[in-house]
Structure 1
Amino acid sequence: MTITIRDEELILAKERAIYLPKEKLLAISDLHLGKAAHFRKAGLQVPSTLAQSDLNRLSFLLDEYQPETLLINGDMFHHELNTDIDDFERWKGQYPNLKFVLVKGNHDKLDETQYQNLGIEIHEPSYCTSKFCFIHDAIKCKEENLYPISGHIHPGVSVYGKAKQYLKFPCFYFGGKYAVMPAFSAFTGLSLIRPKVSEQVYAITPTKVVKV
């Protein structure tokens, strides 16, 4: 799905990402790497393949769009360093020429040296282009002339069919004051939103992005 916001083209990918062709920038949010390993460490039987599945989806996007910059819009890492993050470091080695940028979110608790060792450029509280302000929590944005694009809440929407049947999907939300990206990680819940008529919501189905 290709849309235009502030006279700039954005591509909404069904893999839960936004690509900005003008900036050659691929943006995702709420990757939550290490979450599965964190739960396993606590004794919960969470599949060890969850993080790798997310990274495989991210590889597809990088191959598809060939961006110069990968922007993670908050909550890249769920908690402390663990085996999932070790896997990420090995995976990252495939992309030596790609710029990795993290806008810090509420779960990003590593110290500066750890981020530096992983080759990740930190921006706090936001990363801005000529039209947009990427920030983890939109209400904290101070850039009055830019359109905030946030994450944090893991937005979802209910799509209704016949006989009052409905399904829940992650979604992209574009309101008058700010936008919210879906959580990239499949290992997250959904916070259902109820959009107003003037707001634009795009549901992410298994096969495509659709306007609802």
Structure 2
Amino acid sequence: MTITSQGEELILDKERALFLPKHQLLAISDLHLGKSAHFRKAGLQVPSTIAQTDLQRLSLLIKQYNPKTLLINGDMFHHGLNTDIDEFSQWKKQYEQLSFLLVKGNHDQLSEANYAELGIEIHEPSFCLGPFCFIHDAPNYTDEELYPISGHIHPGVTIVGKAKQRLKFPCFYFGSKYAVLPAFSLFTGLYNIYPKVSERIFAVTPKSVVEV
């Protein structure tokens, strides 16, 4: 789905990513790497392939859009260092020409030395580009000149079918004051959004992105 926001073309991808062609920037939010390993360490039976699946999806996006910059808009890592993050470190070696930027979120708690070792450039509390300002939690943004794009809440929308069946999907939200990206990780819940007049909601279905 291609839309125009703040006078610029944006591509909303069904893999829960946003691409800015003018800036050659691929943006995702709420990757939550390490979440599954953290839960397993706590004794919960969570599949070990979750992080691998998310990284494979990210690889396909990088191949498709060939961005110069990958921006993670908060909550890149769920907790501390663990086996999932070791796997990310090995995965990242194939993208030496790609700049990795992280706008820190509430779960991003590694040390500056850890981020530096992983080759990740940190921005806190935001990263601004063109008419947009990426920040993990939009209510914390105070500059009215730029349009904030956030994450954090893992937005979702419920669609009611003709037979009154209800299906819930991740979504992109574009309101008058800010936008919210869907959580990239498949291992997250959804916070249901109820659009108001003038707000645009784009549901992420298994096959495409559709406006609802």
Normalised by the length of structure 1, the TM-score is 0.99
- Secondary structure, aligned partner of 1:57: helix
Aligned counterpart, 2:105: 105
Q: Which moved more, 1:156-165 or 1:75-84?
A: 156-165
Give the counterpart letter for 1:196 in structure 2. Answer: K
State the Cα distance separating 1:162 from its structure 2 match.
1.1
Aligned counterpart, 1:194: 194
Aligned counterpart, 2:144: 144
- Secondary structure, aligned partner of 1:164: coil
Aligned counterpart, 1:155: 155
State the Cα distance separating 1:165 from its structure 2 match.
1.1
* Aligned-residue RMSD, C-alpha: 0.5
Give the counterpart letter for 1:209 in structure 2. Answer: V
State the Cα distance separating 1:198 from its structure 2 match.
1.1
* Aligned counterparts, 1:36-185, within 5 A: 36-185=36-185
Give the counterpart letter for 2:84 in structure 1. Answer: D
- Secondary structure, aligned partner of 1:163: coil
Tell me how far apart the structure 1 counterparts of residues 87 and 63 of structure 2 sit (CA, whole Å): 19
- Secondary structure, aligned partner of 1:51: helix
Q: Does the CA contact (< 8 Å) of 1:133 and 1:143 recur in 2?
A: no
State the Cα distance separating 1:197 from its structure 2 match.
2.2
Tell me how far apart the structure 2 counterparts of residues 95 and 143 of structure 1 sit (CA, whole Å): 33
Tell me how far apart the structure 2 counterparts of residues 9 and 152 of structure 1 sit (CA, whole Å): 23
Q: Does the CA contact (< 8 Å) of 1:151 and 1:180 recur in 2?
A: yes
Tell me how far apart the structure 2 counterparts of residues 142 and 121 of structure 1 sit (CA, whole Å): 23
Q: Which moved more, 1:112-121 or 1:137-146?
A: 137-146
Normalised by the length of structure 2, the TM-score is 0.99
Over 6 Å off, 4+ runs: none
State the Cα distance separating 1:95 from its structure 2 match.
0.2
State the Cα distance separating 1:166 from its structure 2 match.
1.3
Q: Which moved more, 1:37-46 or 1:137-146?
A: 137-146
